[in-house]
Chains A and B, each alone.
Chain A
């Protein structure tokens, strides 16, 4: 893997909400929501285009209070890239291992929580609200399963 790469976190088109121990990210383009645990969030924030993977590993180690390998950072970058949370897609090769195998190896080698990016499942209450019926565009905001979350068309449906 190219350790001289300097990944850049995507900021445009995202709603970012920081909560204790997590960062919640909503992608306005894909209408998908992600939950970054603390390790993933630190790595994501460190992706400023200046830090190399090696730099990021040191930063995470310092902030999380434990030694962190570059593979640990790559594991996060792989997930960030897959979820379109980086400016440019980065293909990560864990030396022929699957991500699951790499995760196992990294997890055993560190005391710091491995970086995890989980997709959020739409809650029942949100799904129940997703009849796609609307009177004004605001009715569509929370109806994330409808064709549009911003437009209420002439037929009273959240769709273009």
Chain B
């Protein structure tokens, strides 16, 4: 066993303790979360392949979000490392009640933890990976293992037919990328040929992203450093074509991405500028 694997097993155990604790504390307040990404994605990995875990992504019903936020932000609550989501918002168009009804319970550290059904989670992970502009080749392994180690009962109709055709295309394309770049076997998938037909702009985009040494950082975290701020601005213009298409609910076809990129630029400019100014205000007050 390598030290890397040992570290991973420790981090996983630590995360499991935090997940169980967060679920217990939220349940005490009558809030039922669903665990997404992170540990839920790592479940599909083989034991010998470390999948370093970041924050604990918990989605809660919109009605519970404010109460859950207060609890998560309370330093005395004992809830650590949780990134709270108001349902799944942009990550999925299936309604919360359906996702919740489909969800499964798994036991972690003696606590029953709710995770999305494999069909729903694969869809959500694909969209999440795309909303990050496909910048992480490492995270594409989440898709690889979710497909490769899907349960025998996995129903592609439950994964794909429940969303609009454009989104269906995104999922198939992400699986196609896992096939092309990670060697995921897709011959047995009902849409194998479609998944193999990837638009040129998509492959160009991911290859360019993967060459970049540093991941994109939130603008508000670099406002103290003019050089880094300019680097981050330059990285956003022109907008990443994957992000632009997904943000505009566009279709993954062979056509130019420019219309999506222009629209996306305008859509994102205002909130980005707002976040930067808010960050500057916080620093000025300190």
- Give me the interface of A with B, judged by CB distance under 8 Å: 15-17, 19, 22, 24, 26, 28, 33, 35, 120-126, 129, 133, 135-142, 150, 154-156
Contact = CB atoms under 8 A, between A and B. Distances in A.
B217 A126 contact: no
Given A15-B17, A139-B55, A155 B1 contact: no
B3 A123 contact: yes
Given A15-B14, A141-B53, A141-B81, A135 B9 contact: no
A78 B80 CA distance: 34
A155 to B, nearest CB: 7
A129 B218 CA distance: 16
Report the contact-size class of chain B (Cβ under 8 Å from the partner): 20 to 34
Given A17-B13, A24-B10, A138-B81, A123 B4 contact: yes
Contacts of A15: 10, 13-14, 17
B7 A33 contact: yes
Nearest to B285: A154
A16 B12 CA distance: 11
24 contacts: A15-B10, A15-B13, A15-B17, A123-B3, A124-B4, A126-B4, A126-B7, A133-B221, A135-B218, A136-B81, A137-B81, A137-B82, A138-B81, A138-B82, A139-B54, A140-B81, A141-B15, A141-B53, A141-B55, A141-B81, A142-B53, A155-B221, A156-B217, A156-B221
Contacts of B282: 154
Contact of A135 (B56, B80, B221): B221
A19 B14 CA distance: 15
Contacts of B15: 141
B220 A122 contact: no
Contact of B1 (A19, A28, A133, A138): A19
Interface of B: 1-4, 6-7, 9-15, 17-18, 50, 52-56, 80-83, 217-218, 220-222, 224, 282-283, 286
Contact of B9 (A19, A136, A139, A150): A19
Contact of B218 (A17, A125, A156): A156
B55 A137 contact: yes
A135 B54 CA distance: 11
Which 8 pairs of residues, A with B, have the shortest CB-CB distance? Answer: A138-B55, A156-B221, A123-B4, A138-B81, A17-B13, A26-B10, A15-B14, A136-B83
A138 B224 contact: no
A156 B218 CA distance: 9
A133 B3 contact: no
Contacts of A137: 55, 80-82
Contact of B6 (A35, A133, A142): A35
B286 A142 contact: no
Nearest to B57: A138
